Amino acid sequence: MSDLLQHLSKLNIEVPANIAKLLQNSKSVRVFNSTSELAAAATYGLDNSEFHVKYDVPGKGEVTEAVVQRVKNGISANYTEPYMRRRDPETMVIADSKPTDKTRFEDKFGYEFSKIQGETFDWLKSQDLAVFFYFAGRAGIGSLGIAIAPANAGFFALGLAMLQEMRSLDELEEGMKIKSSIFVAPVFRHTHFNGKQVVVHNRTDEVHELYSYNLYPGPSAKKGIYGVLLTQGEKEGWTTAHCSAVEAISPYDNITTFMHEGASGGGKSELHQHILRETEGAVLLGQNSVTAETKHIELPKSCAFRPVADDMAFCHPSVQENDGKLRIVDAENSWFVRVDSVNQYGDDPTLEKTTIDPKEPLLFLNIETTPNSTALIWDHIEDEPGKKCPNPRVVIPRKIIPNVIDRPVAVDVRSFGLRAPQCTKGEPSYGIAGMFHILPPALAWLWRLVAPRGHKNPSIVSDGSMQSEGVGSYWPFATGKKVDHANMLLKQIINTPRTTFTLVPNQNIGVWKVGFKPQLLMREYMTRRGAAKLREDQYKESRCPLLGYELNYLTIEGAKIPKPLLKVYKQPEVGVEGYDAGAAELTEFFKKELKQYLQPELHETGRRIIEACLNDASIEEYNKIVPMSYEYDYSFNKIED
């Protein structure tokens, strides 16, 4: 291990003292320099087609965390516990004393983190270790980090190395600074945390340390590093958006760029899907859950599109041109794609082709496989007999994504996804949004503060009720203060007045089961319109002001979308009675969540917007606070004045 430390010393790369001590005193250390090396290590060698990741747990004996198999198209890993197949939203705790609105380690567990920190290093010293370097971020935005994990958790290390930008020793540059570190110690989930997923963030002055006490990459390898990037942005005044993005091209060569945000399950990955057609070529809009009636439209030709980002995008100052549009660039090296909507062959031909015969090995999670088979993304493992896991995943390097865009893009349409439940007169709910709504900037900001997690979220452990994902829909991954992020988002929205903001539901529109068709049809319609504005008779103020403007009619290539899918109160199973009850539920939820942002640090414009909501403002009143126009230049300071 002295060779590694000497190599880093020659490059003038300073190794944190706790890491140097750990590496010098460990049982053994192997440095990995490529994802192909980690793919081999995932099954503890290329000769093994299957490997059980297991640990001796004091008081429990041997515990198997995951079964890893080598398949023709990569590595397949399945957790033995259904609980470990999704991210627990209560995973993050903060160990340091820096400003935060998050739960601190000592408050949650009753003792200082330094105690378990020492035990963690002692346990790691007793293990054979895998070590590698990564760049947290992409496109030159981010910083160098180091990962240290038990060598038998190669599949987890592979996932981290794919999601971030792995750096070999030869690729390290002189004078680079290690700004983040990940320590992986899964046995502590059983010995200290009652089997729960826990990721500890310890923000020292020099290094953002992550302690991952579980092997699901969601809260650590992916969202943990997301927290590192958000923390950097907090200090420097920029955000990493929780979004997907595509550049869509209409049959008439209009190009429109969409940025789709929302809580987990809000349809980010699905923005990259092609519209699935019925056998005869029609597009299924939805099925009435009460009458079983179906509605279709004829769409002669779909828009083409080029993916930009899957889940995270930098809104960094270096890519902005200050022309009234937000510019973003993908923040990930690979995409952590949920495939729960792919249930049979043909549901997503492009993604199926990409994953069945990839140009390099992929990592599959929660997919049913056998050694040396081909992992198929519609073969979801069962949590229990007859119940499929709702969170099957595949990690795909972005460089093998067909037609992917590497450059920054200017956002034309910035949508927000709402995972909506069914709504009826007898069982009213907040599932009252139509096919899509146009949001004034002030309301667009409020939706990003509240970020409803929504109906039957497949990505996380939850009870299925309406909950808030928090500011930016990325709050579960941030380490600092909510109000700071609220201010940054408000400034960003006000400084990008040439953006159209929309709200789009998925799963249900009233009693109609629609899946993710609304956002795909919004993509089709808005791309065809290009820069053309909506006609004044095409929209009106929604019956529920929080939904902005509803559409009076919507026609795509001559096909008219039925009015009940635009105005939910026109559905006889819902009516005004059911709609208004759902609107009251949504409004009450917004008011409950927004009060926490009324802090002294909140910008005055933001305070006015929130107070307007608490006082049941009309859409016209929201527009008076932040005008819905890009015909003049204005800045955040001018609006404040």
Whether 465 and 531 have beta carbons less than 8 Å apart is answered as no
Q: What is residue 279's predicted lDDT score, i.e. its pLDDT?
A: 87
Tell me the C-alpha distance between 82 and 97, whole Å.
34
Do 365 and 392 touch, CB atoms closer than 8 A? yes
Q: What is the pLDDT of residue 457?
A: 61
Please name the residues in contact with 467: beta carbons below 8 A apart, sequence gap of 6 or more: 452, 453
Closest of 307, 258, 302 to residue 504, by C-alpha: 258
CATH number of the structural domain spanning residue 215: 3.40.449.10
| Local structure of residue 213 (DSSP, 8 states) | -
- DSSP structure string for 286-332: EEETTT--EEEE--S-PPEEEEEESSEEEE-GGG---SSS-EEEE--
* Amino acid at position 122, single letter: D
- Distance, in Å, from the CA atom of 339 to the CA atom of 355, rounded to the nearest integer, reads 11
Helix (H, G, I), strand (E, B) or coil at 343: coil
The verdict on residue 427 lying in a domain is yes
Q: Indicate if 171 and 289 belong to the same structural domain.
A: no
CA neighbor of 474 nearest in space, from 314, 586, 284: 314
**pLDDT for position 631:** 43
Q: Which residue has the tokens 């009693």?
A: 511
Domain identity same for 201 and 303: no
Is residue 20 one of the residues assigned to a domain? Answer: yes
In a domain, 351, yes or no: no
CA distances from residue 630 to 239, 496, 627 in whole angstroms, order as listed: 23, 9, 9
pLDDT, position 374: 98
320: left (phi over 0), alpha (psi -120 to 50) or beta: beta
User: Is residue 109 assigned to a domain?
Assistant: yes
Return the pLDDT at 635: 35
Side-chain half-sphere CA neighbours of 235 within 13 A? 11
Same domain, 148 and 285: no
The verdict on 251 and 227 lying in the same domain is: no
Question: Counting Cβ atoms within 10 Å, is residue 291 exposed (0-12), middle (13-18) or buried (19+)?
Answer: exposed
| Same domain? 227 vs 244 | no
- Tell me: do 182 and 301 sit in the same domain: no
Q: Which pLDDT score is estimated for 527?
A: 95
Residue 53 exposure: Cα atoms within 13 Å on the Cβ side:
29
**519-539: b (≥16 Cβ within 10 Å) or e:** bbbbbbbbbbeeeeeeeeeeb
How many domains does the chain fold into? 2
- The residues facing 315 across adjacent strands are 239
Distance in angstroms (rounded) separating the CA atoms of residues 478 and 108:
18
Same domain, 244 and 222: no
Ordered mean pLDDT values, 10 residues apiece, the chain (641 residues): 87 96 95 97 96 94 97 98 93 97 97 97 97 95 97 96 95 96 97 96 97 93 94 96 97 95 90 90 96 95 95 97 96 94 91 95 98 98 95 96 96 96 96 97 98 72 74 95 97 95 97 97 94 86 98 95 98 98 97 97 98 97 86 38 33
Q: Is 14 helix (H, G, I), strand (E, B) or coil?
A: coil
Residue with tokens 């896991």: 389
Cα 354 from chain centre: 21
- For residue 517, the enclosing domain spans 240-326+411-640
CATH number, residue 608:
3.90.228.20
Which DSSP letter does residue 219 get? I
Cα separation of the two ends of the chain: 59
Question: Domain check: are 154 and 247 in the same one?
Answer: no
391 falls within a domain? no
Q: Is residue 352 part of a domain?
A: no
Verify that 172 and 253 share a domain, yes or no: no
Residue at 68 is within a domain: no
For the packed helices 575-594 and 441-450, what is the interaxial angle rounded to 10 degrees? Answer: 70
Domain-ending residue, one of 236, 253, 280: 236
Q: Of 176, 201, 236, which marks where a domain is finished?
A: 236
Last residue in a domain, options 190, 215, 236: 236
**Residues 118 and 247 grouped into a single domain:** no
pTM more than 0.85: yes
Same domain (yes/no): 187, 255: no
Say if residues 485 and 543 touch (Cβ distance below 8 Å). Answer: no
Determine the pLDDT at residue 458: 62
Both 320 and 433 in one domain: the answer is: yes
In a domain, 555, yes or no: yes
What are the C-alpha distances in Å from 638 to residues 449, 598, 635? 23, 21, 5
